[in-house]
Chains A and B, each alone.
Chain A
Amino acid sequence: MESVSIKIFFQLVLSGVIVGSIYGLIALGFVLIYKATDVVNFAQGELMMLGAYFCYYLIVAFQIPFVPAFLMTLLFSAVLGLLIEFLILRPMIGKHVFSVIMVTVGLATLLRSLVGLFWGHDTYRFPAPFSETTIHVLGVSILPVELTTALAGLGLFVLFYLFFKFSNLGLAMRATAFDQKSAFLMGISVRKIFSLSWILASVVASIGGIFLASLSSLQSNMSMIGLKVFPAVVLGGMDSIAGAILGGIIVGLTENLAGGYLSKMFGSGVKELSAFFILLVILMIRPYGLFGKKEILRL
C-alpha cells in the first residue's frame, strides 16, 4: 500500500517534470523576446501550435519522413518569426505598452483562428517515430517519447546556456537586453538582434509544440497550454532564462501533483487552474519572480 502511493507520487513527479520541460521550452522563447525587445509575447503558445500543425501537415499531406519534416518546420518557424517581427512588431517600437501587448494579443487571436480555419478542431494523433514500449527505470515507467522530450529540453537549455555564454551573437543579445543604447553605440545591430530573438523564440516554440503533440495529441486548444508560460515566467522572473526553465518545471510539477491529489476534492479543472493560482500569489508577494531583475516600480 505504502509503496504503491510512493510509486504514484514518483510517476506524477516524473510526468510533471516532463510536461514542465515543455513549458520551460515555451517560456524560454518568451523570455528571449522579452529580454531582448521588451515585448510581452502573448502569441508564444500560438507559435508553438502552428509549428506542431505545420510539421503534422508536412508528414501527413506530403508523406515526408519525420526528421526532414522536423527540420523544415524549424525553417518555417524561423521565417515566420522573422516576418512577424518585421511586419508587426517593428512598427510598434516606442509605442505605449498597452499597444504592444495588444498587438501580440491580436496576433495570438489571428494565428489561433488561422490554425482552426485550415485544420479544423479535430484531435489528431501526431505521427511521431517513437516506439510505444515503456521503459522501466527504478520502478517508474516512462515512454520513449517522454524520455526524448526531457532530454531534448535539457539539451536545448545547455545549448542556449553555451550560446549566451560564449558566442558573439549571444553576447550581443545579452548586451542589447542589458542596455539597448549602449549596445547600439558599441556597434551591435539592435535591429538584427530583435529579429534574431523572434526567430529563436519561434523555433524553440515549434520544437516544444512538436514534442507536446507527440506526447499527447494534436488539437486546436493546444495554444491554451501556451498560456502556462505566464505562470512559468512570472515564477522564474520575466527576464531570466534559467528562471523560465525552472519556472516551467515547477509549474508542470504543481499541476500534476494538484491534478493527482486535489481533483477528487475540487473537480477536474483544478489541474489547469493551479498554475494560475500560483501566478496570482507570486504576483502579490514577489512580482519579479525567483531570478528576475528587481526593477519593478511600486507606488
Chain B
Amino acid sequence: MTCGQYKTSYRDDMKIFQTAFVKFWLAVLVISLLLFPFLASRYLIYTANLCGIAVIGALGLNILSGFTGQISLGHAAFIAIGAYASTLLTLKLHLPFWASLPLGGLAAALSGLLIAIPCLRLRGLYLAIATFAFHFIVEYVIVHWNQLTNGTSGLTVPSPSVFGMELDSEREIYFLILCLVIASLLFAKNLFRTEAGRAFIAIRDNDLSAEVIGIDITAYKIRSFMLSSFYAGIAGGLYAITLSFIGPEHFTFLMTIEYLAMVLVGGVGTIAGTVFGAVFMTLLPEGIRMVKDAFSHDYPVLVTRMADLQASCYGLVIILFLIFEPTGLFGVWIRVRNYWKAWPYRY
C-alpha cells in the first residue's frame, strides 16, 4: 500500500490524471455515464441533459469569475445570445447544426468582446455593475426585436441533425451533450496548464503584479471574456435544442444567479468543483419539487409559487455556502477525501 504520492518530476506534477486509482474511477464514471441513458427514464435523461448544459455554462463562468477574477453578472445574457444565435442560424439561414452551434458560441464570444472592451479598465464591483446593465440591454433587445426574435412569443427550435442523423429524442441529445461536456472539461483542465491559463490566474491573484511580470492584462482579460462567453454560447445552443423552445422568460436574471450559485457552491476556481456545483444546482429544483409535493396538501399555495420557492432556495444556498463553506463542495470533497486517506489517524 502506498502511503503517499511522490512526484519525481515536474511532468508528474502537471499530469491531469495523477494516479492509476483516479484513472480507474474516472473510466468507471465514463462507462456508467455511457450506459445511463439505456437504463434511465426519459425524464431522468432530460435532467441529466440539463446537468450537462449547466456544467458547460458554469465552466464558462468559472473561467471568467473564478479563475480570472472578473465578476460577471451577465452570464445569462451570453447564454441567451448563444441560444438565439444558433437557433436563428438554423431557422433563417438553414445552417446544419454542427455549424450553427459553434457559430452561436462565436456570436456569444463576439458579444463578450463587445462588452469586454468598454469594461477593460473596470474592476471588481464596477465590472459587476456594467455586466449587470448589459444583461438588461440584451433582455430588452430580445423582447423588442420582434422580426428577429419573435419577441415574448419565443421561437420553436427544430430538432438538430448531426451528419445526417436526426437527434430528436432526449437520449440522442444526451450523447451529444456528454461528448461536449467531456471536451469542454478537458479543454478547461488543460487551459490552466498553459501560459494563458496561468496568466488568467495571475490576473485574478494580483493584477498589478501580473502586469509587472509582463502579462498583457488587456489581451488576457479579453481572451477570458471571449472564452467564457463562448462556453456560455455553446451552453445556450444546447439549452435551446433540449427545451426545443426558447423565449425571453428562459434567460432572466435569475439564471445568472443560478450560474453564480453553481460556481460558488461548487468551488470558485476549481474545475471539479464546477461539475459538483452544476449538478447540485440543477438537481436542487427537483429536490424542492419533492418537498413541495409533500407539503402541497397542507399548503396549496405552494403549487402556484414554485418559482418563488426555487428562487428563495437559490438565495439561501448562496448565502449559507458563502458564510459556512466558502470553498464550496470541492472543499468538502477534499476534506472528506483526506479524512479517509489518513484514517484512522487524524492526519
Interface pair A283/B140, CB less than 8 Å apart: no
Among candidates B137, B308, B326, residue contacting A273 with C-beta atoms closer than 8 Å: B137
Task: A40 to B132: give the CA distance in the assembly, Å.
Answer: 13
Smallest CB-CB separation from B129: which chain A residue?
A230
A275 CB to nearest B CB, Å = 9
Query: Lowest 5 A-B CB distances belong to which pairs?
Result: A110-B315, A106-B318, A109-B315, A116-B308, A113-B311
A92-B323, A105-B318, A109-B315 known; A120 vs B123 contact (CB < 8 Å): no
Interface pair B309/A117, CB less than 8 Å apart: yes
Interface pair B130/A279, CB less than 8 Å apart: yes
Interface pair A107/B121, CB less than 8 Å apart: no
A101 at the B interface (CB under 8 A): yes
Interface pair B257/A99, CB less than 8 Å apart: no
A277 at the B interface (CB under 8 A): yes
B126 at the A interface (CB under 8 A): yes
A139 at the B interface (CB under 8 A): no
Interface pair A287/B126, CB less than 8 Å apart: yes
Contacts of A102 on B, CB cut-off 8 Å? Answer: 260, 264, 318, 322
Interface pair B312/A114, CB less than 8 Å apart: yes
A280 at the B interface (CB under 8 A): yes
Give the total of B residues in contact with A, Cβ under 8 Å.
Answer: 51
Smallest CB-CB separation from B217: which chain A residue?
A299
| Binary B-proximity of A227-263 (CB < 8 A = 1, otherwise 0) | 1001100100000000000000000000000000000
- Determine the main DSSP class of A at the interface with B: helix
Smallest CB-CB separation from A115: which chain B residue?
B308
* 24 A-B residue pairings within 8 Å (CB atoms): A92-B322, A92-B323, A97-B124, A98-B69, A98-B268, A99-B322, A102-B322, A105-B73, A106-B314, A106-B315, A106-B318, A113-B309, A113-B310, A116-B305, A117-B305, A117-B308, A230-B132, A231-B133, A234-B129, A266-B144, A276-B137, A297-B123, A299-B207, A299-B211
**A residues near B, CB below 8 A?**
40, 88, 91-92, 95, 97-99, 101-103, 105-114, 116-117, 120, 227, 230-231, 234, 266-267, 269, 272-273, 276-277, 279-280, 283-284, 287, 296-299
A262 CB to nearest B CB, Å = 13
Task: A77 to B222: give the CA distance in the assembly, Å.
Answer: 43
Contacts of B130 on A, CB cut-off 8 Å? Answer: 279-280, 283
Contacts of B305 on A, CB cut-off 8 Å? Answer: 116-117, 120
Interface pair A116/B322, CB less than 8 Å apart: no
Interface pair A279/B322, CB less than 8 Å apart: no
Contacts of B133 on A, CB cut-off 8 Å? Answer: 230-231, 276-277, 279-280, 283
Smallest CB-CB separation from A105: which chain B residue?
B257
Contacts of A107 on B, CB cut-off 8 Å? Answer: 315, 319
Interface pair A112/B319, CB less than 8 Å apart: no
A102 CB to nearest B CB, Å = 6
A92-B323, A277-B137, A280-B134 known; A105 vs B260 contact (CB < 8 Å): yes
A110 CB to nearest B CB, Å = 3
Interface pair A106/B144, CB less than 8 Å apart: no
**B residues near A, CB below 8 A?**
65, 69, 71, 73, 118-119, 121-126, 128-130, 132-134, 136-137, 140, 143-144, 207-208, 211, 217, 254, 257, 260-261, 264, 268, 301, 304-305, 307-312, 314-319, 322-323, 326
Among candidates A95, A266, A280, A298, residue contacting B326 with C-beta atoms closer than 8 Å: A95
Task: A182 to B215: give the CA distance in the assembly, Å.
Answer: 36
Interface pair B318/A103, CB less than 8 Å apart: yes
Smallest CB-CB separation from A230: which chain B residue?
B129
Contacts of B65 on A, CB cut-off 8 Å? Answer: 98
Task: A296 to B126: give the CA distance in the assembly, Å.
Answer: 10
Interface pair A106/B319, CB less than 8 Å apart: yes
Task: A114 to B316: give the CA distance in the assembly, Å.
Answer: 11
Task: A115 to B251: give the CA distance in the assembly, Å.
Answer: 22
Among candidates A91, A92, A276, A287, residue contacting B122 with C-beta atoms closer than 8 Å: A287
A107 CB to nearest B CB, Å = 6
A95-B326, A266-B144 known; A283 vs B122 contact (CB < 8 Å): yes
Contacts of A88 on B, CB cut-off 8 Å? Answer: 319, 323
Task: A113 to B307: give the CA distance in the assembly, Å.
Answer: 8
B262 CB to nearest A CB, Å = 12
